[in-house]
């Protein structure tokens, strides 16, 4: 059984702070089953956008775990916002969580796959 998006995001934010990172929910979507986008930033100005992985990326052993794929790496904030705007046109119930931590820390907190 999958937990609600509201619960999952709250837990992620707490875990990021516990790992000495920073997290903020910049947009709340549907509490029960909203899609989550992760925007990870580093101190050098780079930003990465992670979206839910395609269903084909899931294996049968972990069908309830949320899996994310990196779709963008840039220093251009407009590029990140343009991609988020495209996602919002497709799904207006999505959540956007902004993170400041390195990739190794992120991999400890969420499951990532290659696109």
| The dihedral formed by the CA atoms of 48, 74, 25 and 61, expressed in degrees to the nearest 10 | -20
96 CB-contact burial (10 Å; exposed 0-12 / middle 13-18 / buried 19+):
buried
| pLDDT for position 79 | 94
pLDDT of residue 88: 93
Average pLDDT, the chain: 88
Q: Is pLDDT above 80 for 114?
A: no
pLDDT of residue 115: 61
pLDDT confidence tier of residue 40, bands split at 50, 70 and 90: very high
Find the range with the poorest average confidence among 58-62, 66-70, 91-95, 108-112.
58-62
Measure CA 17 to chain center. Answer: 15
pLDDT, tens digit (0-9, with 9 covering 90-100), for 85-102: 999 999 889 999 999 998
For residue 73, pLDDT over 70 is answered with yes
**Which residue carries 């790496």 as its tokens?**
73
Question: Please, what are the domains in the chain?
Answer: 5-113 (3.40.1530.20)
- The answer to whether the predicted template modeling score (pTM) of the entire model surpasses 0.75 is yes
Structure tokens at 43: 């101190």
pLDDT at 56 over 60: no
């Amino acid at each position: 059984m999958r937990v609600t998006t509201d619960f999952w995001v709250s837990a992620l934010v707490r875990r990021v702070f516990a790992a000495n990172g920073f997290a903020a929910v910049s947009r709340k979507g549907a509490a029960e089953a909203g899609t989550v986008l992760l925007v990870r930033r580093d101190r050098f100005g780079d930003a990465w956008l992670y979206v839910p992985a395609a269903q084909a990326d899931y294996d049968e052993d972990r069908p309830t775990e949320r899996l994310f794929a990196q779709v963008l790496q840039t220093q251009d904030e407009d590029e990140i916002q343009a991609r988020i705007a495209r996602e919002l046109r497709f799904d207006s119930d999505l959540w956007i969580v902004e993170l400041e931590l390195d990739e190794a820390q992120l991999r400890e907190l969420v499951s990532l796959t290659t696109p």
